[in-house]
Amino acid sequence: MIARVIVDVTTNQTDRLFDYLIPAPFQAAIVPGVRVVVPFGPRKVQGFVIEVAKTSTIDAGKLKPVEQLVDIEPPLTRELLLLSEKVKESTLSFHNTALKVMLPAAMRAKYKKEAMIHPETAYELVAKEIKRYFTSAEAVLDWDELLKKAGDAEKRLLLKALKEKTILVLPKVGTQGKKKKQTLVHTVRSPEELAQLKAALPANAVKQQDVLQHFIDRPEPVPVAELLEAVRGSRSTVKALADKGILCLEEAEVWRDPYEGRHYERQASLPLMEEQRQALEPILQAIDGEYHRTFLLRGVTGSGKTEVYLQAIERTLAKGKEAIVLVPEISLTPQMVTRFKERFGSDVAVLHSALSMGEKYDEWRRIREKQVRVAVGARSAIFAPFENLGMIIIDEEHETSYKQEDAPRYHARDIAIERGEYYQCPVVLGSATPSLESFARARKGVYELLTMEKRVNDVQLPDVTITDMREELRNGNRSMFSAALIAAIKQRLQRQEQIVLFLNRRGYSTFVLCRDCGYVAECPHCDISLTYHRTTHSLQCHYCGYTETPPTRCPSCEGESIRFFGFGTQKVEEELKKILPDIQIIRMDVDTTRTKGAHEKLLDQFGRGEGDILLGTQMIAKGLDFPNITLVGVLAADAMLHLQDFRAAERTFQLLTQVSGRAGRHEKAGEVIIQTYSPDHYSIQDVKSHDYLSFFQKEMLLRKQAGYPPYFYVTLIHVSDTDLPKTIEVTKKITNYLRSKLSPATKIYGPAASAIPRIKDRYRYQCMIKYKVEPYLTKILHEVVQTYQGEMSRSDLSIVIDTNPYMML
Ligand SMILES: Nc1ncnc2c1ncn2[C@@H]1O[C@H](COP(=O)(O)OP(=O)(O)OP(=O)(O)O)[C@@H](O)[C@H]1O
Ligand SMILES: [Zn+2]
Ligand SMILES: [Zn+2]
C-alpha cells in the first residue's frame, strides 16, 4: 500500500503529494488524516497522509517507506482534509500550511538535529577538543545549540569533524508540546501465519496463545495496556513474543486526560422577548429541516443575541449534533464563558489564547474524542474537528480579528459557510454593527437578515452626547477631560454608579518631539516613530522591538525642549486622580493584564463594585454586561479615523457603538459622552443617533465611489526586500505583468510604497488590484509566485499575497 503525503516543507516545489510505501505493521493504522514521519532528501520530516492508494505511478523500487506513525487516531477528519484544499486554493497558501492551521500549536512538528560521535569512529581516536563536548561515546547533543554556543574557532573544528565523519548529525522530528507516550504492539504476520505459530506454541503457554488469538481476530496495532487487559496477560508474555520476532513494540503519542472543569450552576433558558422569538424561529427551522443557510442577526447592544445563540444550540444538541461558537479573543471573558458553561455544563470546550499550549491541546482533544459537543473559542476554533456539526455561530461578526494575518490568510466567516454547506447546517452571524460586506449580502438576499431593534425588557439605548474638544480648548480647558465628562463622572460617584472610561489607542501613540526643531524620535530600522513607555521609561518600536533610552537633549539641535506627546491609560489615571483624588480606578491595559488570570480578577473586582471606574483600551469595549454601569466616556474617539485604511470609518462606528452599548443595559438608564476633534464626522454622528442604516448607506456610497468592498474585491500584493531598488523593480514587474494579463475593467495600482515603507530594515512596496470579475486571478497570482520562487529561496525577497486584506499597512 502507498501513502500519499503532504510533507512539512513549505516551498512551491514540495507543495504536492509524495508517495511512500506503507510498511506492513502500519497497514491498518495509516489512514487519511494521520501524521507520519517520512524521509525527505537528507532529512526526516513530518507529513500528513492525504490518501492511501494501492499503486503509485512511481516505481515501487524507488519509493521510500514511511518511517514512523505519529498518531494512533487521525487528528484531521475527512471533511477537514477536503476543507484544507479549499483553504489552500482560496488563500493561495501551501497545502501544508492550510493543514497545520487546523491543529493546536502543541501538535506542530519541531525539528532537531542530534549530534553524536560517528558510530564508525573509535572514541579513543577522537580529538580531545571534540571530546570536550562529547564526553562519552554515547553522548547525544543538540547540534544547533552546540553551534550557537561555540566560538568561531570551535565552530570550524566541529564542522570539520562533521565533514570528516567524526561526528554524525541526524535529524529528529518531535512535537512542540509535551506529550505522553504509549507503547503500541503490532505484528507483521498474517492471521494464517499467526494461527500456525499459535498451534506450534507449547500447551502451557496459554497467555501467549491468547495474545496471538487477539491479533488473529484484530490485526491492527493496539496499546500494550489495552492488550494486556483484553487478554488478562502480563508484560512478560508480550515481551516473550516480541523476543521471538512475532510482535513488535513501538512508541506512539497518546492524548492526555482532559482536565476537570470548574463547577457551574445550571441555568435554564429564559423566556424569550418577542423580537428574540422572531429571530430564533427561522434558525430553528433550518436546524430541524437540516439545511444550510447563513443568517445575519443584527441586534442592537443589549438586545439579547446571546440568548438566541444559546437556544439555537440547545435545539442543535437535542438533535444529537454539535455546535461551534466563535467569539473575538477580547470578548472571550469569563462572563461570556460562564454563560455557556451554565447552560451546557461539561458539554463545552473553550479554546482561547489565555490557555497554555497544553490546556488548549486538552480542550481540542475533548472535541476530537467527542467528549463535548459545543466548542466556544476565538478564530481558530472554526476548525474544531467535529464530525456531526449542526450549527455555527459567529458573534461580533464584524471583528477584523476573524481574519488571520499570517498564512493561510483565511477569514473565519468563509470557513464557517464552507463547513455549513458541507454539513447542511445553519450559520448565524451576529452583531450590533455588521460588517458592510455581510449587511450588503443580507440586503441582496444571499444571507437571511434577522433584526432586533430593541433592548431586552424595552430598556432604552443610552443617550449619547458628543463633546467637541476644539471647543473645550477655546474655552480654556487644556485638560484631557471635557467639562461635561467631569460633571457626569461626579454625578455617578454621588449615586454610587459605575463608569467605563475608554481610551481609543489604536492609531494613537505617545511619541517624543523636540519643540524647537520638530525632531521626532524614529526607529533606525523602520520608518515609524518610536513609542514612549512610561513603565520602563524607554522608547520602543512596535514593529521590530528596537528599544532605546529617551534623549534628554535633542539629538538634532541639542536643545532641551524634548517633550512627550500623546497619552496612555496611566497618564489618564494620573490626570483624573488630580481632579478627583478619592476616585477608585481599575485600569485594564496590556500592563495590568500581563499575568495569567489578571483580566478575570480585575473584571470580578469591578463587578463586585470595588471600583468606580473601569479604565481601559480596546480590551473593555466588548462583551461586558454589568447592571451598575450608567456612564461611558470615550477619549480620543477619532484617533482611528486617520488611519490609512478604507475601513477606518467603519471601525470607528463599530467600536464607538460597542463601547456605548456597555451603558444602561438593565434597570438604570445609561449615558455616553464621546470626546472628539471631528464631531461632525458621520461615523460619530450616527453613533449618537444609534442609526446603523444611515451609517451603512453613507459608507456604501463612499465605497462605491472609491471602488472598495463590498462593491469591488481587493487583492493586495506586498513585496519586501533589504534592497530598495530591487523591491521597486520586482513590484514594477509584477504590476506590469498583471496589467498585461487582467481585464481592462480591473484597476491596478502600483508600484507604491507601503504606508510604513520600511520595517526591520526591509523595504516594502505594494500593488493593489480592485476588480469585479476576474476568473483567472488565482491562476495568474500563482504564476507570479512561481516566477519569483527561486529568487525568494535564494535571497531576502518576499512576496505576500492577500486576497482579502484587512491590514492595509
Ligand atoms: N429573554 C430574556 N429575558 C430576560 N433577560 C434577558 C433575555 N435575553 C437576554 N437577557 C439578558 O439581557 C442582557 C443582554 O443580553 P446580551 O448580553 O445577550 O445582549 P447582546 O445582544 O449580546 O448585547 P451586546 O451586543 O451588547 O453584547 C443579559 O444580561 C441577558 O442575560
Ligand atoms: Zn531639536
Ligand atoms: Zn523598528
Question: What CA–CA distance (Å, rounded) separates 146 from 155?
Answer: 9
> Pick from 703, 721, 739: which residue ends a domain?
703
354 and 436 belong to one structural domain: yes
CA dist 515 → 518, 522, 524, 559, 563 (Å):
6, 16, 21, 9, 7
Question: What CA–CA distance (Å, rounded) separates 292 from 289?
Answer: 9
Task: List the residue whose alpha carbon is closest to atom 24 of ligand 1.
Answer: 301
Q: What percent of the chain has pLDDT over 90?
A: 53
Q: What is the pLDDT of residues 218-240, one digit of tens each?
A: 877 788 888 888 888 888 888 88
- 806 contacts 437 by C-beta, under 8 angstroms: no
125 and 189 belong to one structural domain: no
- 317 contacts 308 by C-beta, under 8 angstroms: no
Above 90 in pLDDT, residue 380?
A: yes
Tell me the three-class secondary structure of 327-341, residue by residue: CCHHHCCHHHHHHHH
Q: Residues near 243 by Cβ (< 8 Å), separated by ≥ 6?
A: none
595 and 531 belong to one structural domain: no
- Window from 175-179, 186-190, 691-695 with minimum mean pLDDT: 175-179
54 and 149 belong to one structural domain: no
- For the chain, give the mean pLDDT: 88
> Pick from 442, 458, 474: which residue ends a domain?
458
Residue 523 annotated as binding?
A: yes
CATH number, domain of 135, equals 1.10.10
640 CB under 6 A from ligand 1? no
Q: If 0-12 CB within 10 Å is exposed, 13-18 middle and 19+ buried, where does residue 116 land? A: middle
Q: Is residue 264 part of a domain?
A: no
276 CB under 6 A from ligand 1? yes
pTM of the entire predicted model: 0.82
Question: Phi and psi of 746, rounded to 5°?
Answer: -80, 140
625 CB under 6 A from ligand 1? yes
Sign of CA pseudo-dihedral 332, 408, 82, 254:
negative
Q: What is the pLDDT of residues 16-65, one digit of tens each?
A: 999 999 988 788 889 999 999 999 988 889 999 999 999 888 887 889 99
Q: Which domain holds residue 283?
A: 274-458
596 and 518 belong to one structural domain: no
Q: Is residue 54 part of a domain?
A: yes
661 CB under 6 A from ligand 1? yes
Q: At 135, is the pLDDT very low, low, confident or very high (cuts 50, 70, 90)?
A: confident
CATH number, domain of 677, equals 3.40.50.300
Cell of residue 19, nine digits: 508517495
> What 8-state DSSP symbol labels residue 65?
B
Q: b or e along 768-794 (b: 16 or more beta carbons within 10 Å of the residue's beta carbon)?
A: bbbbeebeebbeebeebbeebeeebee
581 and 665 belong to one structural domain: yes
Residue given cell 441555568 in the structure block:
267
Q: Is residue 259 part of a domain?
A: no
Task: List the residue whose alpha carbon is closest to atom 1 of ligand 1.
Answer: 272
Max mean pLDDT among 252-261, 688-697, 791-800 falls in 688-697
Ligand 1 probe mutation, 274, 305, 687, most atoms within 8 A of CB: 305
Q: Which ligand is nearest to the CA of 522?
A: 3
**Which ipTM was obtained for this model?**
0.96
614 and 679 belong to one structural domain: yes
Sign of CA pseudo-dihedral 205, 206, 212, 216:
positive
β-strands 762-771, 747-759: how paired? antiparallel
431 CB under 6 A from ligand 1? no
Cell of residue 237, nine digits: 508474555
Residue given cell 523595504 in the structure block:
763
CATH number, domain of 20, equals 3.40.1440.60
Task: List the residue whose alpha carbon is closest to atom 15 of ligand 1.
Answer: 304
- Window from 402-406, 435-439, 560-564 with minimum mean pLDDT: 560-564
CA dist 475 → 231, 284, 634 (Å):
89, 57, 20
SS3 content of the chain, % helix, strand, coil (to 5): 35, 25, 40
Range 338-350 average pLDDT: 89
Q: What is the pLDDT of residues 477-514, one digit of tens each?
A: 888 899 999 999 999 999 999 999 998 765 445 677 77
299 CB under 6 A from ligand 1? yes
36 and 149 belong to one structural domain: no
The distance in angstroms from the start CA to the end CA of the chain is 49
Question: What CA–CA distance (Å, rounded) separates 623 from 659?
Answer: 9
Q: At 255, is the pLDDT very low, low, confident or very high (cuts 50, 70, 90)?
A: very low
Residue 541 annotated as binding?
A: yes
Q: What percent of the chain has pLDDT over 70?
A: 96
422 SS3 class: helix
> What 8-state DSSP symbol labels residue 395?
T
Q: Which ligand is nearest to the CA of 527?
A: 3
Q: Is residue 809 part of a domain?
A: no
233 CB under 6 A from ligand 1? no
Q: Which residues surround ligand 2, an ion (CB under 5 A)?
A: 514, 516-517, 519, 554, 556-557, 559
β-strands 294-299, 180-186: how paired? unpaired
CA dist 519 → 229, 515, 608, 759 (Å):
76, 8, 47, 20
C-alpha dihedral, 465 to 469 to 473 to 476, nearest 10° = 30
672 and 717 belong to one structural domain: no
Determine the atom of ligand 1 nearest the C-alpha atom of 272: 1
Question: What CA–CA distance (Å, rounded) separates 168 from 165?
Answer: 6
Q: Is residue 708 part of a domain?
A: no
Q: Is residue 268 part of a domain?
A: no
CA dist 24 → 61, 189, 196 (Å):
16, 8, 19
Max mean pLDDT among 110-119, 205-214, 286-295, 770-779 falls in 286-295
Q: Distance, CA 397 to ligand 1 centroid (Å)?
A: 17
Q: If 0-12 CB within 10 Å is exposed, 13-18 middle and 19+ buried, where does residue 594 land? A: exposed
Q: Distance, CA 306 to ligand 1 centroid (Å)?
A: 6
| Residue among 548, 523, 529 nearest 762 (CA) | 523
Task: List the residue whose alpha carbon is closest to atom 11 of ligand 1.
Answer: 304
Q: Distance, CA 548 to ligand 2 centroid (Å)?
A: 18
Q: Which residues pair with 614 in a beta bridge?
A: 500, 586
Q: Is residue 209 part of a domain?
A: yes
554 or 485: whose pLDDT is higher? 485
Question: What CA–CA distance (Å, rounded) separates 280 from 785?
Answer: 46
713 SS3 class: strand
Q: What is the pLDDT of residues 653-690, one digit of tens each?
A: 999 999 999 999 999 999 999 999 889 999 999 999 99
452 CB under 6 A from ligand 1? no
- 328 contacts 399 by C-beta, under 8 angstroms: yes
Cell of residue 788, nine digits: 519569483
CATH number, domain of 767, equals 3.30.70.600
Cβ count near 559 (within 10 Å):
13
Radius of gyration of the chain (CA): 31
Question: What CA–CA distance (Å, rounded) separates 307 from 272?
Answer: 8
> Pick from 110, 130, 147: which residue ends a domain?
110
Give me the number of domains the chain comprises.
Answer: 7
328 CB under 6 A from ligand 1? no
Q: Which residues pair with 801 in a beta bridge?
A: 717
Q: What is the pLDDT of residue 258?
A: 31
Q: Residue type for 428, please?
A: V
Sign of CA pseudo-dihedral 518, 519, 520, 522:
positive
Residue 514 annotated as binding?
A: yes
248 and 124 belong to one structural domain: no
Q: Distance, CA 642 to ligand 2 centroid (Å)?
A: 26
333 CB under 6 A from ligand 1? no
331 and 437 belong to one structural domain: yes
Q: At 259, is the pLDDT very low, low, confident or very high (cuts 50, 70, 90)?
A: very low
503 and 446 belong to one structural domain: no
Q: Is residue 269 part of a domain?
A: no
Q: Which ligand is nearest to the CA of 623?
A: 1
Q: What is the pLDDT of residue 287?
A: 97
Q: If 0-12 CB within 10 Å is exposed, 13-18 middle and 19+ buried, where does residue 540 land? A: middle
- 372 contacts 346 by C-beta, under 8 angstroms: yes
Question: Phi and psi of 563, rounded to 5°?
Answer: -130, 150
Q: What is the pLDDT of residue 253?
A: 56
432 CB under 6 A from ligand 1? yes
- Angle at which helix 224-231 crosses helix 206-217, to 10 degrees, equals 110
Q: What is the pLDDT of residue 257?
A: 33
254 alpha-carbon distance from chain centroid: 25
Question: Phi and psi of 628, rounded to 5°?
Answer: -90, 0
Q: At 590, is the pLDDT very low, low, confident or very high (cuts 50, 70, 90)?
A: confident
Cell of residue 648, nine digits: 477606518
- Window from 638-652, 664-678, 701-715 with minimum mean pLDDT: 638-652
CA dist 146 → 134, 142, 342, 454, 466 (Å):
11, 6, 52, 65, 62
Give residue 372's region: left, alpha or beta (phi > 0; psi -120 to 50): beta
Question: What CA–CA distance (Å, rounded) separates 42 from 40?
Answer: 6
805 CB under 6 A from ligand 1? no
- 398 contacts 435 by C-beta, under 8 angstroms: yes
β-strands 798-802, 713-721: how paired? antiparallel
Edge-to-edge strands, sheet with 180-186: 222-223, 180-186, 248-254
- 510 contacts 746 by C-beta, under 8 angstroms: no
